[in-house]
Amino acid sequence: MSQKIKKIVFLTGTRADFGKLKSLIKITQSNQNFEVHVFATGMHLDAKYGETVIEIEKSGIYNIHRFKNHEGSEFMDRTLANTIKGFSEYINQIKPDLIVVHGDRVEPLAGAIVGSLNNILVAHVEGGERSGTIDELIRHAVSKMSHIHLVSNKIAKKRLVQMGELAESIFVIGSPDLDLMNPTQLPSLEEVKAYYNIPFENFALVMYHPVTTELQLAKSHVAILVDVLIKSDKNYVVIYPNNDKGCEAIFEAYKAFENKPNFKIFPSLRFEYFLRLLKEAEFIIGNSSAGIREAPYYNTPSINLGTRQNNRAKHQTITNIVFDKTLLLNAIKMNKKENQSISFTNFGNGTSAKQFLDLLKSDLFWLTDCQKQFQDL
């Protein structure tokens, strides 16, 4: 690698994508060949969700630029426009060599648009995957606006090749959150319970997000979930939904949990603390990708509701279910965590950060052409 210090900007808009980017940020931040900056926006600046930019700072990451890109959840297109404007002004000031984005929300889409239109290399983490709803459209759009692809597995790479991406620009590094998931490196359950004042001996996690393409069903669906959780008479740690359109219906329904001692509700949790709870939980219920990606790693059963994760990976610990009270209540009663070891290697082996750093050290990586061409099969 040439001696010139490369300037890298990581864009993060949610607690979830920060968990995916954290190990990549920290390993490059600790290397003298790179000057690392973080553009924090979206939910990170929202007081309702605990202003999680503070957690980024507490994790030892520096050079953090804060940008508030929205006032509410009603207009994703306006949030996209605001983020494009703010990020464009920011990168014009610091002039990075590389922009790193993750996933399938409007913030990474803004980052990819700004980078591609300014001839700055854009690396997209975890492209080439399938899920459902508007997220899938955004993820593939981000991939088409990106020059380099850091994917979880060979299946994702194959999909990107189908989309006309150059195979030589796609690198299988696994899912970076696995770098942080080793149980021996997580805080103890006692520490987590004390920090968040969680009194339960046994508990399950609840993470339910709005489905932006099914807004007409939002109230009825969350009402079924809330009613069943209360009737199940179990202990629950409930984490706020993301801030997509439709989240207000979820917040309104969650008022039914108030003053119920078997429910603890949090705007957000530190990522490693969340992982410990996920590992020790009886099960996780909702429609978060955590139930599809992280939960099987810990052999934690997942009850996946509705269509939001329809096309995600399947696994024997995942139960997919429709919004029916009887079926849902039975699924909760039947779910039992088994102690047997289950192989789960679809998303790497926890070395994503090292593989990422090795790529950055390669001169060939930095010779990637900003002028993309569609590759015919």
Residue ranges of domains in the chain: 6-180+350-366, 183-334
Q: Is the pTM of this model over 0.85?
A: yes
**Do 183-334 and 6-180+350-366 fall under one CATH topology?**
yes
What type of residue sits at position 130? R
- Give the total residue count for the chain: 377
Helix (H, G, I), strand (E, B) or coil at 86: helix
Chain segment 144-177, per-residue pLDDT in tens: 999 999 999 999 999 999 999 999 999 999 999 8
Q: The domain 6-180+350-366 is classified under which CATH number: 3.30.870.10, 3.40.50.2000, 3.40.50.720, 2.120.10.90?
A: 3.40.50.2000
pLDDT range class, residue 64, cuts 50, 70, 90: very high
CA dihedral defined by 16, 290, 178, 114, rounded to 10 degrees?
-30
pLDDT at 2: 58
Domain 183-334: CATH superfamily, name plus number: Glycogen Phosphorylase B; (3.40.50.2000)
Q: Say whether pLDDT at 26 is over 90.
A: yes
Chain segment 282-299, per-residue pLDDT in tens: 999 999 989 988 898 899
Stated as kind and residue range, the H or E segment containing 302 is strand 302-305
Q: In whole angstroms, what is the distance from residue 366 CA to residue 121 CA?
A: 8
What are the angstrom distances between the C-alpha of 19 and each of 81, 160, 176, 273, 351?
25, 23, 8, 11, 15
Q: Say whether pLDDT at 307 is over 60.
A: yes
